[in-house]
């Protein structure tokens, strides 16, 4: 456990808090202040701008005023892929969810005029609370851990139970065929970025599309739902705000739920032996409660979903490795990431075998 803890602590240190705005991400703060004055209800200067640490693909800033703190997310400057960094989609989503009571930050305004700070951006409230990085929750007593895990689960079920048509998100993605589209997407990315032959990955590329469970449900999916992408209430075991919606779309809710479970099978929680004594729910308990909250009878194809999620992770990581290889990205852990892909392929294929491959 010590290595896992130190890795989480290092990640927390690198990603927590704010810093001076990076030179490449500076903008005209006076222009922003004028826009805030005209567009943000209750705004009053003077304005101080800080940048959040961490590797968000959309630069994120803390806006500090005498009476309130805000968060600004913007498209990064420079040449971008047409559909990438769609902060207007994030704004549309939180604007639709906030009135329902689902825990997202209050949206204040979207600016599509690139003349203000150089790129499109939106402003939302700064939600105060706890951002926790280590899913084993070492700083808490066992009795306090279970409620935090169950709060994460209930919030995800609430998202999947949200009527996306009723809240105005019928056009937020393509309903149906989600797994087929995802498998195709990550297969293409993996093959375009391939740096070594991995037999298990090649087998998964054939097996996954031929064995997909019925893909007959559509909901809002977060796409990267995990503990450090949410703010917990400062003292209560409940989610105050879900963050980082850039991978959100309409899709199959089971893809989202089983991605959330990955930490139990291939993450920090997988190494916890006596979960009950540690106050950590088992996978079986999480599945049972999710089914209860969403009105399902059960999840018979769990091993298939785990194989799918591990394959998706391999595709994402291989894409980063490929960009480093091609000189279009610089990642300090690129060599270590390259070692992870064969391991992910092996574990994924093990689950495929359990699912009948």
- Structural domain spans, the chain: 17-125, 142-354
Query: Residue 223 — left, alpha, or beta (φ > 0 → left; ψ -120 to 50 → alpha)?
Result: left
Cα-to-chain-centroid distance, residue 83: 18
The helix/strand/coil state of 215 is: coil
Q: What's the confidence (pLDDT) of residue 1?
A: 42
Nearest to 186 by CA among 333, 308, 350, 335: 308
> 23-68: per-residue pLDDT in tens?
888 999 999 999 999 999 999 989 999 998 865 567 899 999 999 9
Mean pLDDT of the chain: 90
**14: part of which helix (H) or strand (E)?**
helix 2-15
Q: What's the confidence (pLDDT) of residue 56?
A: 56
Residues 115-129, buried b or exposed e (16+ Cβ, 10 A)?
A: ebbbbbbbbbbbbeb
The helix/strand/coil state of 116 is: coil
Please give the angle made by the CA atoms of 173, 174 and 175, to the nearest 5 degrees. 115
* Tens of each residue's pLDDT in the chain, 357 residues: 444 444 555 555 555 678 898 888 899 999 999 999 999 999 998 999 999 886 556 789 999 999 999 999 998 776 544 455 579 999 999 999 999 999 999 999 999 999 999 999 999 999 999 999 899 999 999 999 999 999 999 999 999 999 999 999 999 998 889 999 999 999 999 998 888 899 999 999 999 999 999 887 999 999 999 999 999 999 999 999 999 998 899 999 999 999 999 999 988 899 998 999 999 999 999 999 999 999 999 998 899 999 999 999 999 889 888 877 776 655 566 667 788 899 999 999 999 999 999
User: Which DSSP category does 75 fall into?
Assistant: P
Q: In 51-177, which residue ranges form alpha helices assigned H by DSSP?
A: 87-97, 142-161
* Domain 142-354 = CATH 3.40.50.2300: no
Query: Which tokens hold the place of 181?
Result: 């589209």
Q: What's the confidence (pLDDT) of residue 80?
A: 44
Out of 1.20.1730.10, 3.40.50.150, 3.30.200.20, 3.30.360.10, select the CATH number for domain 17-125: 3.30.200.20
CA distances from 287 to 200, 215, 281, 282, 302 (A): 27, 18, 10, 9, 9
Query: Residue 78 — left, alpha, or beta (φ > 0 → left; ψ -120 to 50 → alpha)?
Result: left
Q: What's the confidence (pLDDT) of residue 309?
A: 95
Query: Which tokens hold the place of 37?
Result: 């004055």
Residue with tokens 């194809």: 301
Tell me the backbone φ, ψ of residue 281, rounded to 5 degrees.
-65, 150
The helix/strand/coil state of 51 is: strand
**230: part of which helix (H) or strand (E)?**
strand 230-232
Nearest to 348 by CA among 308, 301, 317: 308
Q: Please tell me the pTM assigned to this model.
A: 0.89
């Amino acid at each position: 456990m010590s290595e896992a803890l130190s890795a989480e602590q290092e990640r927390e240190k690198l990603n927590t808090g704010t810093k001076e705005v990076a030179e490449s991400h500076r903008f005209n703060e006076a222009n922003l202040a004028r826009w805030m004055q005209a567009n943000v209800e209750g705004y009053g200067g003077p304005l101080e701008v800080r940048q959040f640490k961490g590797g968000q693909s959309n630069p994120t800033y803390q806006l500090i005023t005498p009476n309130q703190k805000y968060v600004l997310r913007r498209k990064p400057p420079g040449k971008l892929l047409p559909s990438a960094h769609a902060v207007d989609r994030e704004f549309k989503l939180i604007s639709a969810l906030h009135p329902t009571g689902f825990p997202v930050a209050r949206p204040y305004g979207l600016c599509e005029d690139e003349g203000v700070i150089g790129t499109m951006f939106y402003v939302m409230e700064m939600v105060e609370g706890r951002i926790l990085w280590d899913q084993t929750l070492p700083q808490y007593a066992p009795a306090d851990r279970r409620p935090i895990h169950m709060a994460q689960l209930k919030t995800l079920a609430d998202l999947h139970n949200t009527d996306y048509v009723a809240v105005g998100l019928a056009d937020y993605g393509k309903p149906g065929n989600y797994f087929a589209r995802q498998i195709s997407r990550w297969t293409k990315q993996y093959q375009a970025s391939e740096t070594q032959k991995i037999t298990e990955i090649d087998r998964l590329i054939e097996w996954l599309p031929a064995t997909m469970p019925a893909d007959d449900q559509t909901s809002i999916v977060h796409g990267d739902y995990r503990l450090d992408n949410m703010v917990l209430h400062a003292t209560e075991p409940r989610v105050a705000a879900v963050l980082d919606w850039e991978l959100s779309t309409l899709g199959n809710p089971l893809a989202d739920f089983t991605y959330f479970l990955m930490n139990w099978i291939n993450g920090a929680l997988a190494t916890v032996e006596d979960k009950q004594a540690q106050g950590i729910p088992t996978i079986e308990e999480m599945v049972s409660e999710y089914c209860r909250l969403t009105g399902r009878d059960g999840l018979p194809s769990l091993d298939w979903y785990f194989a799918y999620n591990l394959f998706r992770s391999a595709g994402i990581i291989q894409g980063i490795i490929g960009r480093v290889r091609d000189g279009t990205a610089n990642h300090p852990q690129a060599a270590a990431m390259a070692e992870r892909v064969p391991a992910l392929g092996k574990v994924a294929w093990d689950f495929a075998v359990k699912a009948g491959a």
